[in-house]
Amino acid sequence: MEPRSRSFYLLAAFFGLFLLFLYGPTLTIAILSFQGPTGGLTFPMNGVSLHWFYDLFQEQAVGDIWGSFRRSFLLGLMVMITTVVVSVMGGLAFRNRFPGSTVLFYLIITSLVIPSILISLGVGLLFSQSGLDVHWATSGFGAQLTWTLPFGLLIMFAVFNRFDRSYEEAARDLGASPWQVLRHVVIPIIGPSLIGVALFGFTLSYDEFARTLLTAGSYNTLPLEIFGMTTNVTTPVLYALGTLTTLFSLIMISAFLLVFWLSARKQAAQGSDAGKGNL
């Protein structure tokens, strides 16, 4: 192997700084959330305590944190399941050219690039003018789908671009019904990618702010609750909440990645080498 060039070390140092830039602030508030009871929003630490975490568990101190967490979690699951199902169906359908496919494709791109506040405002107006109440599980749910579906679909398009259709043909030749082909051939092959789509669906919904702002109604989701806190809470309890919800996100991301890794490994171990070429 050739020796490392000087540009390697320069770029490696730059990459290290980039990671510090990405994670440093989050680590800082994680440390500061353990402030003593008299500590403030910045260093120095006035002792070390769990005071601010304890505060979070006293409902009246900070508003309806746990209610909003429950709603965000549930909404995340709803969005995740819908995103996976709709993206797979969309991905399958888009494998063939059909009249209107280009228009629909650009509609998906529009959904991805449209400023979030327009969705929030538009859906809010649409519901109020139709005499419907905005609610996180109806208008909020739909508004979030306009953000998660394009991601899910683009992932599925990428997956199906690399999909070898001869597997399906082989199954069909052996007499499998369309449903059997889907259930026993297509889904197992694209399985790991579905976990990726699910990860996007859940986390993007769980953290979504702008599209839920005017569409969640009277019951806040967690990001809305946290943003409300930034205007009137000036104690490290904000950091404690930030640390806990980031920790929760990290646990979910690790779980998704672990399942992804396991299923990819299982696939590699069980799959035959058919279609790989060499004897």
Geometric angle at alpha carbon 194, from 177 and 18, rounded to 5°? 160
Nearer to other proteins, 51 or 206 (CB): 206
Helical spans, DSSP H, in the chain = 6-32, 51-56, 59-62, 65-93, 101-113, 116-129, 141-161, 166-173, 178-181, 187-207, 222-232, 237-270
Q: How far is the CB of 93 from other proteins (least distance, A)?
A: 4
Nearer to other proteins, 196 or 274 (CB): 196
Integer Cα distance of 165 and 160 in angstroms: 9
Q: How far is the CB of 170 from other proteins (least distance, A)?
A: 21
Nearer to other proteins, 81 or 274 (CB): 81
Nearer to other proteins, 114 or 170 (CB): 114
Integer Cα distance of 259 and 265 in angstroms: 10
Q: State how far the alpha carbon of 52 is from the alpha carbons of 105, 117, 243, 247, 250, in Å.
A: 48, 33, 11, 16, 21
Q: How far is the CB of 42 from other proteins (least distance, A)?
A: 5
Integer Cα distance of 84 and 46 in angstroms: 47
Nearer to other proteins, 1 or 268 (CB): 1
Q: How far is the CB of 261 from other proteins (least distance, A)?
A: 10
Q: How far is the CB of 94 from other proteins (least distance, A)?
A: 8
